[in-house]
Amino acid sequence: MAQQIDFSGQSVLVVGGTSGINLGIAEAFAENGARVAVVGRSRERLESALSRLSAAGGEAIGRCADVRDLSAVEQTVGGISDHFGGIDVLVSGAAGNFPASALDMSPAGFSAVVDIDLLGTYHVLRTAYAYLTKPGASVINISAPQAYIPMPLQLHVCAAKAGVDMVTRVLAMEWGESGVRVNSIVPGPIADTEGMKRLAPTTEARQMITDSVPLKRLGRAGDVANLALFLASPMASYITGAVMPVDGGWSLGGLSAMAAEMPRHFKPGRRD
Ligand code: NAP
């Protein structure tokens, strides 16, 4: 269970919250008393996420939408806000990924990732602003180490997540006056996630990553959720525009060494 901070009476929207790290964040808010909404494309994943969230104790609702579709985002976010009477915490973390070199990746594959991660983040934040509690709302974008560590086979994610962190910084400046804080969380390698399955598909690759993390373990979804709870809480009321790793120190150097090794673990030509 994540840390205890009281979020009773607060409404939390987690976009991309139907699995993995983001579902862990949604669960942590539910366990701490918040009303939680999650959004993703797959109905099956959404339903399974909602059963986990109900078990966590909070009121939970969900909607299916693709963040690339602005009108779907407008309808979904507006509907969720109407249901809750506003949004206190917004977590935006929908993302796609597949390992491929710049030349093996098709332009459509590049666009798909940039459109989900970066354009999707813009759609979600732009739409949600009208419904955010002002002053006081906390917006958290889920970034990735690829935003600032160049990684072979990850051109699309590197470009998209670097953009996401700039969305964080620019909107922190534009929205600060209305009392809305905007921060990025940068998870490190988190065990048992789709992201890790895709980027570290073998035991050897996972061991190499573990060895390259100064704290010598993979992260847990709860490690990321704890930072999200903190950033959304009054304890972080003077923090905005920050890009915060929760990665066991991986970005200090081990990640760069591992990035250079990455192509060894994939066959050339793989596009996923
Ligand atoms: P995940 O389980 O695949 O979660 C991705 C979520 O985004 C799912 O709910 C997915 O549901 C949703 N999604 C994907 N495309 C979407 C779209 N077009 N519209 C709406 N929702 C969409 O991934 P994860 O590995 O836990 O990663 C979660 C976040 O952490 C991502 O932002 C990722 O970049 C970041 N991150 C992960 C790691 C890691 O170790 N895993 C490390 C660093 C950063 P549907 O597919 O049903 O739409």
pLDDT of 101-150, one tens digit each? Answer: 999 999 999 999 999 999 999 999 999 999 999 999 999 999 999 999 99
pLDDT at 191: 97
Exposure class string for 17-29: b at 16+ Cβ within 10 A, else e: bbbbbbbbbbbbb
Sheet architecture: strand order including 243-246? 60-64, 35-40, 11-15, 89-92, 138-142, 181-187, 243-246
pLDDT band (50, 70, 90) for residue 256: confident
pLDDT at 259: 82
- Rounded to whole angstroms, how far apart are CA atoms 230 and 28? 11
Asked if residue 32 has its Cβ within 6 Å of ligand 1, the reply is no
Distance 96 CA to ligand 1 centre (A): 6
Asked if residue 193 has its Cβ within 6 Å of ligand 1, the reply is yes
Q: Which residues pair with 184 in a beta bridge?
A: 141, 243
Asked if residue 116 has its Cβ within 6 Å of ligand 1, the reply is yes
CATH of domain 11-190+219-249: 3.40.50.720
- Rounded to whole angstroms, how far apart are CA atoms 186 and 147? 9
- Rounded to whole angstroms, how far apart are CA atoms 142 and 135? 22
Q: Which atom of ligand 1 is nearest to the CA of 191?
A: 40
Asked if residue 96 has its Cβ within 6 Å of ligand 1, the reply is yes
* Residue 265 or 227, more confident: 227
Q: 83 vs 66, 75, 171, CA distance in Å?
A: 20, 12, 26
pLDDT band (50, 70, 90) for residue 45: very high
Q: What is the mean pLDDT of the chain?
A: 95
pLDDT at 57: 84
Range 49-55, long-range pairs (CB < 8 A, 24+ positions): 49/17, 49/18, 49/19, 49/23, 52/23, 52/27, 53/26, 53/27
pLDDT band (50, 70, 90) for residue 3: low
Q: Nearest C-alpha to atom 21 of ligand 1 is from which residue?
A: 40
Asked if residue 21 has its Cβ within 6 Å of ligand 1, the reply is yes
Asked if residue 16 has its Cβ within 6 Å of ligand 1, the reply is yes
Asked if residue 218 has its Cβ within 6 Å of ligand 1, the reply is no
- For residue range 199-218, what is the model confidence (pLDDT) as tens digits? 898 999 899 999 999 999 99
Mean pLDDT throughout 217-226? 98
Q: Are 22 and 193 in contact (CB under 8 A)?
A: no
Domain locations along the chain = 11-190+219-249
Residue 47 has pLDDT above 80, yes or no: yes
pLDDT at 270: 53
Q: Of all helices (H) and strands (E), which one includes residue 55?
A: helix 43-56
pLDDT band (50, 70, 90) for residue 18: very high
pLDDT band (50, 70, 90) for residue 267: low
Q: How many residues does the chain have?
A: 272
pLDDT at 1: 58
Residue 191: left if φ>0, alpha if ψ -120 to 50, beta else—which one?
beta
* Ligand 1 binding pocket mutation candidate from 190, 227, 246 (most atoms within 8 A of CB): 190
Asked if residue 59 has its Cβ within 6 Å of ligand 1, the reply is no
Distance 177 CA to ligand 1 centre (A): 31
pLDDT at 264: 76
pLDDT band (50, 70, 90) for residue 255: confident
Q: Which residues pair with 190 in a beta bridge?
A: 219
Closest among 191, 173, 192 to 183, alpha carbons compared: 173
Q: Which atom of ligand 1 is nearest to the CA of 41?
A: 48
Asked if residue 180 has its Cβ within 6 Å of ligand 1, the reply is no
Residue 73 has pLDDT above 70, yes or no: yes
pLDDT at 269: 61
